[in-house]
Amino acid sequence: MLKQDNTHNERQQRNAGLPASASPSGTAANTVSEPSADSKTAGRPVCNGNFAYLDPRLPKYRDPILANLRIQIVSNTMAKEAANTNVRQIIQSHEETARQAAETANSTFGGPGQSTIQLADSETLSLDWRCQGIHGAAVCTYIANTWAAMMYRELAIMRSVCTAKGQGD
């Protein structure tokens, strides 16, 4: 049973990442650097920009799995994600996987005080957190899927804003 759970968590981790099209080659050059007249786009990238504006919202965990995913998210571009027509389904899938990972993490948490999921949600989880073992992998799967869902929610917002401005994807 332990092997099966670990395999499940490893599979969740593999599936937690962004689409294969995400790569660390983007730059922050296409982001809005000053507030715009439209408050919906203030602090968001231009329609053909990237997700670098999410940088301050993603803790800089040192584990390679989370560190690499973070780089993928902030450098991913709107153009790379334009082909994803089922964004709502993608968001729901990441949210469901995060929920399941949180259940696993909470059921394997053995310490006193706040659970590691609560610490991750409050951004007080140690940046040295390791994605190892059943509990560690579950927490990282939760974080990764929470981040991915955030990026896709932002994509949905940008699609709406850009389409309204006639700059559709």
CA distance 43 to 32: 6
Of these ranges, 6-15, 31-40, 76-85, 127-136, the one predicted with the greatest mean pLDDT is: 127-136
CA distance 24 to 12: 22
CA distance 13 to 124: 21
Compare 113 and 151 and report the one with higher pLDDT. Answer: 151
CA distance 168 to 93: 25
107: confidence class by pLDDT, cuts 50, 70, 90: very high
CA distance 100 to 14: 15
Quote the pTM value.
0.72
3-class SS of residue 99: helix
- 92 within 8 A of 148, measured Cβ to Cβ: no
Compare 158 and 26 and report the one with higher pLDDT. Answer: 158
pLDDT of amino acid 44: 55
pLDDT digits 0-9 by tens, 147-167? 999 999 999 888 888 877 666
Compare 80 and 65 and report the one with higher pLDDT. Answer: 65
